[in-house]
Structure 1
Amino acid sequence: MATEIADGVWRFELRAANAYLVVDDVPTLVDAGTPWDADAIRSEFEDAGVAVADVGRVLLTHYDLDHVGTLASLTPDLDAPVYAYGFDAQLLCGARSPPLRNHKGLIQRLGGLLTDRPDLDVVGVRDGETVGSFTAYHTPGHTPGHVAYVSEALGVALLGDLVSESDGDLDPSEWLISYDTGEVLDSIRGLAERAPPFEVACIGHGDPITSGGSEALAALARRI
């Protein structure tokens, strides 16, 4: 069942990762579950009282099977641009393939065999660019094109898999699921310095933080 974690912000708790629906200037889907979550995510939309066809954009934090998997299955009802960054946008378009020389790239290459490419417009987003009320922050490490989005107006940060949550604390993305853990740590510190304050931290894995989100990120930045 979809859970409203803040005004106009809904958590879709899927089988492997969270997706989110944010009512910004247009209804905005944030990430999209695995290829096996299509029925579940449609049900979550019904719980939130928003039709899939009403979605005006998709914000993709990164390319992974558990974050892009339902995009193809949601069409033709879903007809909205997908915003993604650099390398990850190219993976989604099929313009590049994950590198076999990196352990995470190998995982992505295998996951790609199970993921259909969506027939949607993919819009490349740049660091510092504004999409709706959200500002994009390039946060590489988990993937080369990982991006976080922060809305100062809404007090919401979309952190993807830059971090995970456990018992109310944030932790860096782990080695096994990251391209470069050194970059992960640098990205956490950089985002903590650059981003405006936010209350709600929407996280791919674990429970979202609904109060004091920027303080939790700053605490992690000091700890690592």
Structure 2
Amino acid sequence: MATEITDGVWRFDCRGVNAYLVSDDVPTLVDAGTPWDEETIRRGLDEAGVEVPAIGRILLTHYDLDHVGTLAALAPELDASVRAYGFDAELLRGTRSPPLRNHKGLIQRLGGLLTDFPDLDVVGVRDGETLGSFTAYHTPGHTPGHVAYVSEELGVGLLGDLVSESDGELEPSGWLISYDTDAVATSVRGLAARAPPYEVACVGHGEPLAAGGSEALRRLAATL
């Protein structure tokens, strides 16, 4: 199912996770659901009037099975690179494995058994880099290479799994699904302080906030 949250920002309701399409300078796919969400992604793109080959940019908030799952299936039709940060980019390339010494790393190892590496260029993104109208903000904790993207022009924050939504408010990524919850708290406070205001908060899990996104993140930051 695809829902237009605001002009040019579409949510794809995948299996327990959200992916997004943003009409920026080029059609931009944000994350890519689980390996079982190919039909949902394709149907969502069709409802948004965008064909797979027209996607000009893929922004990855982080590497997890439920955020990279359909990339391998879509890859033959894509002529766009995947932008990802550091450690998570290496995981997606297959040049590094999640550490077994961390509980989240073990979860990623198990998830990797169900995830194919996409035949796509994976290009590293830098903290503060501009990608279309979005600025990248390294927000480690959920994963070491987690990154959020904020567009002041569009009024949109792509927050990935740094936070989730519950009853209209934002919550930090919890211990079970995070590498480091102290780093999560630091990243929430840092993003709240660094990023410009935005109305729409696109989260990986829960309902995206159509208004008051940056204010909701600041409220959360004040409690951490």
Alignment deviations for residues 126-151 of structure 1 (CA, whole Å, 9 cap, x no partner): 00000111000000000000000000
Length-normalised TM-score, structure 2: 0.99
2:164 is aligned to 164
2:19 is aligned to 19
Percent sequence identity is 77
Task: List gaps (5 residues or longer) in structure 2.
Answer: none
Alignment deviations for residues 124-183 of structure 1 (CA, whole Å, 9 cap, x no partner): 000000011100000000000000000011010000000000010000001000000000
Alignment-mate amino acid for residue 27 of structure 1? P
2:137 is aligned to 137
2:85 is aligned to 85
Once residues 124 and 75 of structure 1 are traced to their aligned partners in structure 2, the CA distance between those partners, rounded to angstroms, is 18
Displacement of 1:44 in angstroms is 0.9
Task: List gaps (5 residues or longer) in structure 1.
Answer: none
Alignment deviations for residues 61-111 of structure 1 (CA, whole Å, 9 cap, x no partner): 000000000000112112211000000000000110000000000000010
Alignment-mate amino acid for residue 26 of structure 2? V
2:209 is aligned to 209
1:195 is aligned to 195
Once residues 78 and 175 of structure 1 are traced to their aligned partners in structure 2, the CA distance between those partners, rounded to angstroms, is 35
Report SS of the residue matched to 1:89: helix
Displacement of 1:16 in angstroms is 2.1
Alignment-mate amino acid for residue 82 of structure 1? V
For this pair of structures, how many residues does the alignment match? 224
Displacement of 1:49 in angstroms is 1.0
CA RMSD of aligned residues (A): 0.6
2:3 is aligned to 3
Alignment-mate amino acid for residue 144 of structure 1? P
1:105 is aligned to 105
